[in-house]
Amino acid sequence: MRFLHKAILICFAWLSVAAMPATAQETASATRFDGVYEITVNRTWRNEYWRHLDNPNYVPGKLELLHSARVEIINGEVIFAGLTKTVPTAGPAFDNFSGALSDGGALAFSAGINLLRGAGKVAPYDMTVAVQLRPSSRYDQAFSAKPEGFSKEWDVLVTVTSVGRPDNAFNNGAQGGNS
């Protein structure tokens, strides 16, 4: 009788847990991607471009990774996005960084590139940007440093992966302009 009583209690407890509603992170797309993310943007440059600038780092078919950032999302809002970019010789710099939460809860990012061509050579520098996001809206952008030079937008690929939150990892391609 005591064993049967325990079995009934265990069964009742299991049913109670199973009947609990899903967490906010599972039900609300606005908070689905809460966490800290690492963002990278890359661009495949035309070989002729690198050869034209006589770039010492020129490698046929090389894919240049030129941008990285950390984004923190709490309750569906990007409270801070730190962007640090060191531009290699004759490489591009990012002129803007924007995105939005789509209706499906997926993050879509785009980035513009400012191409610096000072006599074909560019000194390395760092750039930082702070971003605020409201759900289902565009980013407000605030640059602490903005490069000067010849501006041109290029197609970019944005990859977003979770840091310490593998359950939230995802990839998303975005177009930042015309090459």
Q: What distance in Å separates the CA atoms of residue 111 and residue 113, rounded to the nearest whole number?
A: 7
Q: Is the dihedral of CA 146, 133, 82, 88 positive or negative?
A: negative
User: Could you tell me the residue ranges of all domains in the chain?
Assistant: 24-168
Q: What does the block give as tokens for 159?
A: 């990859």
Nearest Cα residue to 68 out of 106, 97, 107: 97
Residue 136 is predicted with a pLDDT of: 25
Q: Which regions of 102-143 does DSSP assign to beta strands (E)? A: 107-115, 129-133, 139-143
Per-residue confidence in pLDDT tens, the chain, 179 aa:
554 444 443 433 333 333 333 333 333 333 445 556 555 444 433 444 444 455 555 555 443 434 455 555 566 555 544 443 433 333 333 333 333 333 333 333 333 333 222 333 332 222 222 222 222 222 223 323 333 322 222 222 233 333 332 222 222 223 222 22
Q: What distance in Å separates the CA atoms of residue 45 and residue 154, rounded to the nearest whole number?
A: 10
Nearest Cα residue to 81 out of 114, 118, 120, 130: 130
**How many residues can be counted in the chain?**
179
Residue 34 is predicted with a pLDDT of: 58
Nearest Cα residue to 107 out of 160, 154, 67: 160
pTM value > 0.75: no
